[in-house]
Structure 1
Amino acid sequence: MTLPANARSALGAFEQASGWEQRARLLMQWGERLAPLSEAEKSEANRVHGCESQVWLVAEQTAGHWHFKAGSDARIIRGLLALLLVRVEGLSSAELQQLDLPGWFNQLGLGRQLSPSRSNGLNAVLQRMAQLAAGV
């Protein structure tokens, strides 16, 4: 599976980071790139359950490819969401089902820093994406 351009760019930036502090700063910067969700998009229907923080996910499919928007009230989670979104941008439903989320965050050098609750939360977001892609 080829990486989308923004995912390659993220991977390059994180590969250059020399330690956790630099990665944490990068994570915050990526989080600031997330387009803010409108109040209407922050609805209960868009809320992802299974996350400790408030997380919302909005999906749209165009010509068989998925485009997502997400938001959170937590800065680190926004950064992780931004990195997840660049990885899944434009994927088909089948590609979404096959995504190796832990593998992606390990590639970025963030796998060891993901607490079990953050890891579970990201998996909940990915599961929600898969549900939306499957029309559930």
Structure 2
Amino acid sequence: MKNYTYISLREKPELKNCAAEWFHSKWGVPTEAYLECMEAYLNKKTEYGWYICLDENKIVGGLGVIENDFHARKDLTPNVCAVYTEEEYRCQGISGHLLNMVVEDLKSKNITPVYLITDHTSFYERYGWEFLCMVQGDGEPNMTRMYIHQ
């Protein structure tokens, strides 16, 4: 198995613009929205961070933590968001490693529990996440699964 480098954005702040563009290309959320969250993290205005997997200098996976990931349950915070691994890098444990990394980092800062929303039905359970409830997405007619990690 190949060795990848896992970092928080605070470890390599020079990747901020590249990371914001990478997340934008995966999820379609404006680059500026990612930059705003990343700058708040880098400037220590929040401990809700951004975590990246690198294959040498190429971003191949990542996720972030934000207050609310576009759902009606504003009381369920913070939220892991934008979890993504490049297709050719999947099934190598990258997202799982990133999920464990973020949970441990937040626990070390006494930020627990952590939530996420997803359409996946079994992936997150492998990493200690538990189904909590169904939530209404902002402006969405359908309900989405909410998970918790304590």
What TM-score, normalized to structure 2? 0.29
Larger RCO (CA under 8 A, 6+ residues apart):
1
Kindly indicate which of the two structures has a greater share of residues assigned to helix.
Answer: 1
Look at both structures and tell me which one has the larger radius of gyration over its CA atoms: 2
What TM-score, normalized to structure 1? 0.31
Kindly indicate which of the two structures has a greater share of residues assigned to strand.
Answer: 2
